[in-house]
């Protein structure tokens, strides 16, 4: 972290007056989590929750002040009504060294986000207006947003998401790929992309790989950085990767979700009009139990489940071609039938898929004529058919008993 740049930004923020206390932002102790890396500056203003919306001009003034500092390429400020326990100043107690770098957004639900454009009609006629009290929906220029999710980790969800996105792009579609896994981002490795995104004004430009646009927190931090962030910061980071990135007009965005049913899933359900979710599971019973939880979670937040994919459905020996059902077989198909959702297909456990993913060359791009790539292309084609046949509906509303 550039200490000189941080000091210069602090000096600029000391010239911005807090209307509540009459003091400057630094003297009032409102600035939290100030970081600077490679010209990218992020920080939060801690304000009373009930006054967050009226203090939006203050957020804008603080962001403008930071942006005007020499050496700052982009500055991002968010409002927060929550200071994590144990945080003193800009760094949590007990954390050695710099606070994790990258996108910062320590904002719980209900706190006003960065200014969003007025509601724009969705490509299919419905509005991007969010449920009351949640702000405007993000990504208004994306026709379809699909979450690729799993109930547990280790089932090959990210590999599936990347190859489906590449397969959709190969159909001639404009495709975005968003890595929503803040704690364990996979896209930099799987796409073979390690460079930092460039900026355009106050926004980041997504990286271009394999015919699609991609964004991940992994593009903004060092590969071995541990993201020691609480839930509100994860939610804020996701909102920034959706709202402060120049995605442009897209036919479809594939979102690689983190495993489980937590903050990231709720944020996506609240802040973008998800067209649907795809659940990835292995055939074994433990994975299917968690996959069922994933289906129920999306149903709870009124997001349609487009189908279930059985990954690692069988293993093919690379030498003799013998098929072995290591994790069992057919479990996801049977579970899909029980849940009343479509079974989208089986994906094999093959060495080439893993090797090419690790090398940053998805098999659909590197070996498009193989049987394995054909499986991904068939599922991607079916998804596109389903999306274009989906009835018009409004964005989802959270309902929690």
User: Is the pLDDT reported for residue 393 higher than 50?
Assistant: no
**Residue 300 banded pLDDT, cuts 50, 70, 90:** confident
* Final residue of a structural domain among 92, 121, 155: 92
Question: What's the Cα-to-Cα distance from 351 to each of 242, 282, 324, rounded to whole Å?
Answer: 34, 16, 13
Predicted pLDDT at 173: 95
Kindly state whether residues 75 and 180 are assigned to the same domain: no
Nearest to 310 by CA among 342, 283, 274: 283
CB-CB neighbours of 171 under 10 Å: 14
pLDDT at 111: 32
Number of helices (H) and strands (E) in the chain: give both, helices first: 11, 17
In this structure, the answer to whether residues 155 and 75 fall within a common structural domain is no
CATH number at residue 153: 3.40.50.300
240, 362: one domain: yes
CB neighbour burial string for 264-282, b if at least 16 within 10 angstroms, e if fewer: bbbbbbbbbbbbbbbbbbb
Note whether 200 and 85 are same-domain residues.
Answer: no
On whether the CB atoms of residues 294 and 247 are closer than 8 A, the answer is no
Q: Answer whether residue 381 is part of any domain.
A: yes
Q: How does pLDDT run across 264-277, given as a tens digit for each residue?
A: 777 777 788 889 99
Task: Say whether pLDDT at 401 is over 60.
Answer: no
Last residue of one domain, picked from the residues 75, 92, 109: 92
Q: Are residues 147 and 210 in the same domain?
A: yes
Per-residue pLDDT, 87: 38
Specify whether 366 is located in the same domain as 231: yes
Residue 131: other Cβ atoms inside 10 A: 14
Whether 247 is covered by a domain: the verdict is yes
**Quick check: is 282 in a domain?**
yes
What's the rounded Cα separation, in Å, for the pair 16 and 22?
10
Q: Tell me: the pLDDT tens digits for 15-41?
A: 999 988 899 999 998 998 888 877 778
Measured distance CA(174)–CA(165) in Å, rounded: 10
Of 27, 62, 92, the domain-final residue: 92
Residue 106 maps to a domain: no
Range(s) of the domain holding residue 20: 3-92
Which of these ranges, 4-18, 79-93, 140-154, has the smallest mean pLDDT?
Answer: 79-93
The count of domains in the chain is 2
CA-wise closest residue to 152 among 288, 266, 276: 288
Confidence of residue 198 (pLDDT cuts 50, 70, 90): confident
What band does 156 get if pLDDT is binned at 50, 70 and 90?
confident
Which pLDDT does position 197 carry in this prediction? 85
User: How buried is residue 98: exposed, middle or buried, by Cβ count under 10 Å (0-12/13-18/19+)?
Assistant: middle
State the average pLDDT over residues 388-392: 58
Q: Is residue 178 domain-shared with residue 242, that is, in the same domain? A: yes
pLDDT tens digits for range 205-246: 999 988 999 999 888 777 667 666 666 677 778 888 888 899
> What CA–CA distance (Å, rounded) separates 318 from 261?
36
Would 124 be classed as within a structural domain? no
Claim to verify: residue 384 and residue 300 sit in the same structural domain: yes
Asked if pLDDT for residue 381 goes beyond 90, the answer is yes
Give the pLDDT confidence score for residue 357 in this predicted structure.
Answer: 84
Q: What is the mean pLDDT of residues 151-165?
A: 85
- Does residue 150 sit within a domain? yes
CATH number at residue 39: 3.30.300.130
């Amino acid at each position: 972290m550039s200490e000189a740049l941080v000091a210069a930004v602090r000096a600029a923020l000391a010239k911005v007056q807090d209307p509540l206390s009459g003091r400057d932002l630094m003297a009032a102790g409102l600035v939290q989590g100030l970081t600077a890396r490679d010209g990218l500056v992020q920080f939060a203003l801690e304000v009373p929750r009930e006054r967050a919306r009226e203090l939006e001009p203050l957020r804008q003034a603080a962001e403008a002040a930071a942006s005007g500092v020499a050496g700052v390429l982009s500055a991002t400020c968010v409002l927060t009504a929550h200071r994590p326990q144990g945080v003193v100043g800009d760094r949590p107690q007990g954390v050695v060294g710099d606070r994790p770098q990258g996108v910062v957004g320590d904002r719980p639900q209900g706190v006003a986000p960065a200014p969003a454009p007025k509601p724009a009609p969705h490509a299919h006629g419905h509005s991007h207006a969010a449920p009351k009290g949640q702000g405007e929906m993000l990504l208004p220029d994306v026709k379809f947003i699909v979450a690729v999710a799993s109930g547990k980790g280790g089932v090959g969800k990210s590999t599936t998401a990347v190859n489906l996105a590449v397969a959709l792009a190969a159909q001639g579609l404009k495709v975005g790929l968003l890595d929503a896994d803040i704690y364990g981002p996979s896209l930099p490795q799987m796409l073979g992309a390690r460079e930092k995104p460039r900026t355009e004004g106050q926004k980041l430009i997504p990286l271009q790989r394999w015919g699609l646009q991609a964004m991940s927190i992994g593009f903004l931090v060092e590969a071995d950085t541990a993201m020691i962030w609480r839930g509100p910061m994860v939610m804020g980071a996701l909102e920034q990767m959706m709202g402060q990135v120049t995605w442009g007009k897209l036919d479809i965005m594939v979102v690689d979700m983190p495993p489980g049913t937590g903050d990231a899933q709720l944020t996506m359900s609240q802040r973008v009009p998800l067209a649907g979710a795809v659940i990835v599971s292995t055939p074994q019973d433990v994975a299917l139990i968690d996959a069922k939880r994933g289906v129920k979670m999306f149903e709870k937040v009124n997001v349609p489940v487009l189908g279930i994919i059985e990954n690692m459905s069988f293993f093919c020996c690379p030498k003799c071609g013998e098929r072995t059902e290591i994790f069992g077989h057919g479990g996801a198909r049977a579970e899909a039938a029980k849940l009343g959702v479509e079974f989208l297909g089986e994906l094999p456990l093959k060495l080439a898929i893993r090797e090419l993913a690790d090398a940053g060359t998805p098999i659909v791009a590197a070996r498009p004529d193989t049987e394995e790539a054909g499986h991904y292309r068939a599922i991607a084609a079916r998804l596109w058919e389903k999306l274009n046949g989906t009835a018009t509906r409004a964005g989802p509303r959270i309902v929690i008993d």
